[in-house]
Every structure is written in C-alpha cells, then in structure tokens.
A = this chain, B = another copy of it.
C-alpha cells in the first residue's frame, strides 16, 4: 500500500506531488505523440514483453512497490504502447488524442461516480439528457418523442436496438423468453458489421436467423465496405416477404459522419446507433443508442431494484434513468463529449469530420496518380475509408488470376508487419469476399495531414519493394 497518499491524514502533499509527476509523464507523452519524428509504436512480440523489458515486469506482487517504481511502470506502459494520437496512426477508428476530450476523461475519473441515479450523478445525468436531445434534433426527430442512453460501445448500442425492436413487437419476451415467440428473423446488409450477428447470438435469436441482404455496388463502395451502415429490419414471422409494417428499422451509423449525408435514413429509423468515439474523435468509450419511441427502453429493461430506484426520494425520480439500461453501474461516458461539444461547437465537429473526408479524397487522388497502387473500388469515396492494393514490382504486369491473387494476398500482411517493426506508420488490412488482402485506410484522426498520406504511400512502396 502507499499508506501516505490520501485519504491518509496529512497525505495531501505527497498526493499532489505524485499526481503532478504522473501528469508530467502524460504531458510529455502527449507532446511526443504529436511529433512526426516519434515512432507510432515500439513493437515487441508478446513473449518479449512478458519476459520483461528492462525494469518493466507485469507480475503482480504481494508487497507494495514504491511510488518511484509506480512512476517507472507508468512510463514503461506508455513506452511499449501504441500512440493512437500520432498523425500516422491510421489503423482504425477511435484514434486521435483530443486534448479537451482527454481533460474531460481525467475529470470523469476523478469524480468517479455512477450514472445509475441522479442522486450520485446530478450533473452527468442532466448532461446525458441534454446530449441525447441534441443528437435527436440532429437526426430530425421531434423534441418530445425520442429517448436513448449511452452505453459501452457501438456493438452494445446495436444489441440494444435489436433488443428494443424485439420487445416492441413481443413485449412478453421480457418475462417469458423466446420460447413463446414465433421464429424471428433479422435483416441486415451483407456488408454489415459483425456486431449484428454477435448480438443475435447473445439475445438468443441465433446468428443463422440473421439474413444478409445484398446491396448495390454504390452502397458496397461507399458504406458497406466499411461495415458501418446497416439497416436492420426486424420481422415478425420469419417470412422474408413480410409487410413493411412489421419492419423495425435500425440504422447503425456508428461513425457520425452519416449524419451529414444520409439524413433521410434517420427520419425513418426507429432507432439509431451513434458512436462518438469514432469519427467525432471522442476518447473511447462513448456510444449512444437513440430510440424513437419514448418509454420503450425503460419498459424493455426495467426491473426496479429497490435499493437504487426508490420512488420516495426527495427529488423528481424520473431523472433516475438507470433502469433503462441493461447495466447496473454505468460509467460516465457523457462528460468528455459534452465538454468537447462546448469547446468545438457543432460547427467544430462538422469541420473535423470534413477534414477527414478531404483526407480520404486526397488519398484517393494520390492512389489514382500512382501506378503501383490499385483502388479496390473505383468510385470517389463517399466516406472516410479508402481501400487499396499495393502492387509490388514483381507483380506488376502479371495477368489477373488465382496465381497473382495468391501472391497479392500476402503483400499487405508482409508490409504491415514491417511497418509495425519499424514503427513508422500504422494502417489496417483485410480480405473481403473474393477480394484478397488490401489496405484499409480509415481517416478519423484529426492529427493526420496530407504529408502523412504522402508518407504512408511512400513508406508502403519502400517496405513493399524490399
């Protein structure tokens, strides 16, 4: 134990000194992460890290370490980690290092409270209400119909949407289970995120009862390849040709940018997943499920625990929103988003997202210009993802076919491996259907500039030609 830190009597000075040293480490990390001369990561294989590098050991002791050692542990943890805020971290969404967002999260963890009741989170509960209303108004929903809740990630948001849809059609499922229901089917795009199937499995609906609907080339190109936009029809008799009246439309627009481009979808939707920890650059975790029918979340999930949701409190208990949740304790995910919204305004978020779209266009243009790259989809990107192959010299001019495919399939993983070992840049890759491994560049990091995109392509070329 560190018996001299607060709450120990007289522990104030030591506490301040210790936390200030931690903050100095963090401030150093933040400024270094913004420098292009820093590595994105200092790669080690699992067995290397586990063997313990220098003074860094993962083992959990019986006896306390000194505070000096705790500071060393903090430094080493950052040293061997990945700088997701580095301008050349393009590996996935939920990247970036938003300074105000980080400040918000520092405050949240210092306040260390729980969203389940107004009693212990008066300010945060009201911020959640305020954010949900704002988000609904952006979707074009009228002020008094909508509802929602923040939850731990887009996948759980998607799970909620299926959960409330099921309850909407079959409220008896809550008490009686799936056993008394007819066979249900779920429709989603063939390019939808795997969270739809995962949630269907958790909810007891079964992944086989998720029907993947074909989508046209334009949608494949722009939205579905990135697996972000799903229209999920919930259906009451397992018959694919069911009347539209029994469709429950959920839009899983996890990225945030869809809000600007696909508004027409949202007005029709019964629920929407909105994931500020993606394109909006809010530190992970921050995700909301918005439900158009007020009251549905509460009815679907409440079990009225008497030790939390007493009805004879001294305040308006309609602010105890915890029983809308499938959780009990719930982390405060709203404050960082609220604070960022204050600091940027809606317009600031808008231009941040536009910047990412511009980066995607710039990459698209560069790829067209360079002969050693090939676009997976020829269309101009409608979103912030761009997918492409690098064609190494040995494959250039080789005719298409299984032979070339087999070799091309190995190119991206090999280059990615070299990138990681060098620590110069990070980008993802994947195969998709009959398409062999390609690079998948996702722009959501506000630190990324055109020079980083140039660097990315140059670096791929350098590493690919070895």
For A19, list chain B residues within 8 Å (CB): 23, 26-27, 30, 99, 102-103
For A121, list chain B residues within 8 Å (CB): 81-82
Point out the residue from B6, B201, B410 that lies within 8 Å of A31, measured CB to CB: B6
Interface size class of A (residues with CB under 8 A): 35 or more
Contact with B along A167-191 (1 / 0, CB 8 A): 0000001111111110110000000
Contact with B along A314-348 (1 / 0, CB 8 A): 11100100000011111100010011011111111
Point out the residue from B16, B65, B109, B181 that lies within 8 Å of A105, measured CB to CB: B109
Give chain A interface residues in 18-36, CB to chain B under 8 Å.
Answer: 18-20, 22-23, 25-27, 29-31, 34
Is A2 positioned at the interface, with any CB of B under 8 Å from its CB? Answer: yes
> Residue among A47, A65, A121, A131 with the most chain B CB within 10 A?
A65
Query: Shortest CB–CB separation between residue A44 and chain B, in angstroms?
Result: 7
Chain A to chain B: the 3 pairs with minimum beta-carbon distance, closest first: A177-B206, A204-B204, A314-B417
Query: Shortest CB–CB separation between residue A9 and chain B, in angstroms?
Result: 9
Minimum CB distance partner of A329 in chain B: B153
> Which stretch, A212-220, A289-297, A298-306, A399-407, touches the partner chain B?
A298-306
Minimum CB distance partner of A225 in chain B: B307
> Residue among A43, A92, A184, A195 with the most chain B CB within 10 A?
A92
24 contacts between A and B (CB under 8 A): A1-B343, A2-B344, A7-B96, A26-B110, A30-B110, A41-B122, A46-B319, A58-B130, A64-B344, A64-B347, A70-B103, A70-B343, A78-B111, A82-B120, A102-B109, A102-B112, A112-B284, A152-B330, A174-B207, A177-B178, A179-B179, A194-B303, A312-B410, A314-B420
Is A371 positioned at the interface, with any CB of B under 8 Å from its CB? Answer: no
Query: Shortest CB–CB separation between residue A333 and chain B, in angstroms?
Result: 9
B207 near A123 with CB under 8 A, answer no
Is A203 positioned at the interface, with any CB of B under 8 Å from its CB? Answer: yes
For A267, list chain B residues within 8 Å (CB): none
A25 CA to B41 CA, complexed, in Å: 32
Asked whether A6 and B30 contact (CB < 8 A) given A110-B102, A112-B84, the answer is: yes
A203 CA to B105 CA, complexed, in Å: 32
A342 CA to B65 CA, complexed, in Å: 6
> Which stretch, A139-147, A241-249, A430-438, A458-466, touches the partner chain B?
A430-438
For A112, list chain B residues within 8 Å (CB): 84-85, 94-97, 102, 283-284
Minimum CB distance partner of A83 in chain B: B111
B106 near A23 with CB under 8 A, answer yes
B152 near A81 with CB under 8 A, answer no
For A59, list chain B residues within 8 Å (CB): 130
For A416, list chain B residues within 8 Å (CB): 313-314
Contact with B along A112-140 (1 / 0, CB 8 A): 11100011111111110011001000000
Point out the residue from B92, B103, B120, B208 that lies within 8 Å of A84, measured CB to CB: B120
Asked whether A31 and B5 contact (CB < 8 A) given A77-B107, A207-B175, A345-B61, the answer is: no
For A203, list chain B residues within 8 Å (CB): 202-204
Beyond A61-B341, A285-B329, 10 additional contacts (C-beta under 8 Å) are A1-B343, A16-B27, A64-B348, A70-B339, A82-B121, A102-B112, A153-B327, A198-B303, A202-B202, A314-B413
Is A38 positioned at the interface, with any CB of B under 8 Å from its CB? Answer: no
A134 near B345 with CB under 8 A, answer no
For A239, list chain B residues within 8 Å (CB): none
Give chain A interface residues in 427-446, CB to chain B under 8 Å.
Answer: 428-432, 437, 440, 446
Is A155 positioned at the interface, with any CB of B under 8 Å from its CB? Answer: yes
Asked whether A194 and B328 contact (CB < 8 A) given A22-B103, A119-B82, A177-B209, the answer is: yes
For A111, list chain B residues within 8 Å (CB): 29, 77-78, 81, 84
A316 near B46 with CB under 8 A, answer yes
Is A50 positioned at the interface, with any CB of B under 8 Å from its CB? Answer: yes
A343 near B23 with CB under 8 A, answer no
A410 CA to B23 CA, complexed, in Å: 48
Point out the residue from B7, B154, B313 that lies within 8 Å of A328, measured CB to CB: B154
> Residue among A7, A301, A342 with the most chain B CB within 10 A?
A7
A124 CA to B46 CA, complexed, in Å: 11
B6 near A34 with CB under 8 A, answer yes
> Residue among A26, A112, A194 with the most chain B CB within 10 A?
A112
